Structure 1
Amino acid sequence: MWYLIGDIGGTNLRLAAVDPAGAVVERRTHPTDGLTTLPDACATLCAEMGSPPEGVAMAVAGVVVDGQVRMTNAARSISRDDLARACGLDPSKVLLLNDFEAAAWSLATLDADKVTYLQGGPDPQPGARVIIGPGTGLGVGSLVWQGARPTAVPGEGGHLRLTPHSAEEVAYFEALIALWPEVQMGAALAVEAEAILSGTGMPYWYRAIASARGEAAHLEGAAAIFAAAKAGKDTSACRAVALMVQYLGGVAGDLGLVMGARGGVFVTGGVAQQNQWMLDDSFLAAFNAGGRHSKWRAAMPLGLCSDPDFGLLGARNCLFVQHERPLPD
């Protein structure tokens, strides 16, 4: 007996087979924009395992509607029925989850050894938990408990609005909207958070700042921008990343306050995991800047989750709860 889980992001398509105790026994990784489709990859793994899985759970970077999901940052659509046929199962045994719904599920079995706490910790605290992840996009999820049973609350928190925090930033936002008009929120000087707080958005944000400052934008791609900012080699990159860090800290703190996250707020995702140096004092100050509720925010545990398998483990946790199996310790 085995279970099939997956984490399908804008960059990688990752699958794993897990045993009844929840341990990963096989893994497969493909590029999301490659030739291998998710149903084909699932069918191949099922054939290699020699039997259909007991159940399937796939975490996908997109909004799930009526058993289908169109990925937000990749030209792919995924259907529960297609996955069921590929795995030889009834569709009722296939779960499609938003990727950060799955990320929230991963908090039910949080491994303290893979969390670096910026405040609070290291022992898990009772109460709701929030996870936020700047990666290809910006994911947000939360975990709450109904008695002893955990459940994730899905949403699209990565698309809440950001506005300038100072007069200096007005020109940056105007330039960003001119470069990428789709991310503007209505007619206001406001953009989706993902337009700045993600690897996809960072190149636009960097070019907008360079344009507003009258500087050349020599850097290509988010990785180069973060590297230049870390080295202090490009003034526009330094400003773009510094502002991103402040916005990210503020959004994380806001979401923790909204959810009453006494169990902690956890940052993850490729951008954060690969650039841990960003989560500095300015990030913590922005997280705790809550006006009359600053002390409330400062009491929330805040940590960086460095486990690259958080999406897979969350899909597993959700599947096991649905199948009334005990979660791994």
Structure 2
Amino acid sequence: MWNLIADVGGTNMRLAAVNVEGEILEQARYDSKGTRNLEEACADFAAHRASAPGRAVIAAAGVVRAGSVQLTNANQSFSERGIAAALQTERVKVLNDFEAAAWSLASVGEGDVTVLQGRAVFPKEPCLIIGPGTGLGVGALIWANGEPCVVPGEGGHVAIGPRTAEEVAIFEALREEWPEIGMGPGLAVEAEGILSGTGLPYFYRAVARSMELTAPLSTGAEIFQSAHARLDTAAVRAVELFAQYLAGVAGDLGLVFAAKGGVFVTGGVAAANPWIFDDAFVEAFNAGGRHTAWREELPLHLYHQPNFGLIGARNYLRAR
């Protein structure tokens, strides 16, 4: 008896066979943009095993609707029904990648985190995970009668608005740079419009416009690198605000879920730029007005488990 788990992103499809205890028996990697789609990769992976898998759980980097998903960063779509046919099994579940990330927190350990606030202890209390990458992923893990349960959602699309006169000018420019992210008649924008590798270049250009500076940088990686080296004034300010807004959204959502089990920051941007998670980040996380003291009680961690998709799929199998 074996089950299949997979982590499917815009670059790679990682498949693994696990036994009923969740131990990995075999792994394989396929190209997300190659000649095989996921359903064909699943069939290929299972073909040399003695039997079909009992179940399959897939973590996918895209929005899941009614068991179907279109990958965000690869021209590929698939469904639970198609995977079931390819594997000749009836029990298939497709999870959004940050739904899987939240499931991975059910087995988080001290070695998976860098503590920013609190301690590396993980009680069975609500947890919040947030991660800027190509987009802004959010998920939550709660516990019911000692068992884990995940609350999926699209928390990356909550609103962010300006706090100061300086930021009013930036947000006015941002809504001109990228009108589609505007939320309502004011200046608020969806969080992902700033807090992502996709959004940061727009935000950087808006910051530069507000400062009457040129904006020669074109990618999120360039902006972070220039900010870290303090080579570009607009990049420095854009990344300072990026960190403040990310901390604020993480703190707000931590309050929503009373995340006494921890708030975990992860994703490609966090992994590549750990230097932004400094004392100023923690201060912005805790800036909660009348609830500042409560936010200060929430554990805050930088989560650097690279296999959270596979681990989350495995934990889902164990729980369900």
Calculate the TM-score normalised by the size of structure 2. Answer: 0.94
Provide the C-alpha distance between the structure 1 equivalents of 2:318 and 2:197, rounded to a whole number of angstroms: 32
Q: Tell me what 2:317 maps to.
A: 319
Paired letter, 1:153: V
Q: Does 1:39 align with 2:32?
A: no
Q: 1:23 to 1:220 in 2, by over 3 A?
A: farther
Larger CA deviation: 293-302 vs 118-127: 118-127
Q: Does 1:172 align with 2:166?
A: no
Q: Does 1:78 align with 2:61?
A: no
Q: Tell me what 2:144 maps to.
A: 146
Contact 1:176/1:205, CA 8 A, preserved across alignment? yes
Q: Tell me what 1:285 maps to.
A: 283
TM-fit CA distance, 1:31? 4.5
Provide the C-alpha distance between the structure 1 equivalents of 2:37 and 2:162, rounded to a whole number of angstroms: 41
Q: Tell me what 1:26 maps to.
A: 26
Q: Tell me what 1:105 maps to.
A: 103
Q: Tell me what 2:62 maps to.
A: 62
Q: Does 1:9 align with 2:9?
A: yes
Q: Tell me what 1:127 maps to.
A: 125
Contact 2:124/2:146, CA 8 A, preserved across alignment? no
Contact 2:124/2:143, CA 8 A, preserved across alignment? no
TM-fit CA distance, 1:49? 3.7
TM-fit CA distance, 1:73? 5.0
Matches within 5 A, 1:242-321: 242-321=240-319
TM-fit CA distance, 1:50? 4.5
Larger CA deviation: 158-167 vs 71-80: 71-80
Provide the C-alpha distance between the structure 2 equivalents of 1:26 and 1:268, rounded to a whole number of angstroms: 26
TM-fit CA distance, 1:279? 0.6
Larger CA deviation: 49-58 vs 21-30: 21-30
Contact 1:10/1:136, CA 8 A, preserved across alignment? no
Q: Tell me what 1:217 maps to.
A: 215
Provide the C-alpha distance between the structure 1 equivalents of 2:155 and 2:234, rounded to a whole number of angstroms: 27
TM-fit CA distance, 1:286? 0.8
Provide the C-alpha distance between the structure 2 equivalents of 1:158 and 1:165, rounded to a whole number of angstroms: 19
Provide the C-alpha distance between the structure 1 equivalents of 2:286 and 2:18, rounded to a whole number of angstroms: 39
Q: 1:192 to 1:29 in 2, by over 3 A?
A: farther
Residue among 109, 114, 130 paired with 2:112: 114
What do residues 59-94 of structure 1 show as CA deviations (whole Å, max 9, x unaligned)? 12333222212344554332111111121212xx10
Paired letter, 2:141: L
TM-fit CA distance, 1:35? 3.9
TM-fit CA distance, 1:58? 1.1
**Any stretches of 5+ residues in structure 1 without a counterpart?**
323-329
Provide the C-alpha distance between the structure 1 equivalents of 2:28 and 2:282, rounded to a whole number of angstroms: 37
When the two chains are superposed, the root-mean-square deviation of aligned CA atoms in Å is 1.7
Provide the C-alpha distance between the structure 1 equivalents of 2:153 and 2:99, rounded to a whole number of angstroms: 7
Matched residue SS, 2:263: strand
Matches within 5 A, 1:180-219: 180-219=178-217
TM-fit CA distance, 1:228? 1.1
Q: 1:48 to 1:185 in 2, by over 3 A?
A: farther
Q: Tell me what 1:327 maps to.
A: none
Contact 1:57/1:95, CA 8 A, preserved across alignment? yes
Q: Tell me what 1:326 maps to.
A: none
Paired letter, 1:217: A
Q: 1:46 to 1:296 in 2, by over 3 A?
A: same
Provide the C-alpha distance between the structure 2 equivalents of 1:255 and 1:233, rounded to a whole number of angstroms: 33
Provide the C-alpha distance between the structure 2 equivalents of 1:191 and 1:11, rounded to a whole number of angstroms: 29
Aligned residue pairs total 320
Contact 1:95/1:319, CA 8 A, preserved across alignment? no
Matched residue SS, 2:53: coil
Provide the C-alpha distance between the structure 1 equivalents of 2:162 and 2:32, rounded to a whole number of angstroms: 34
Provide the C-alpha distance between the structure 2 equivalents of 1:300 and 1:294, rounded to a whole number of angstroms: 10
TM-fit CA distance, 1:34? 4.1
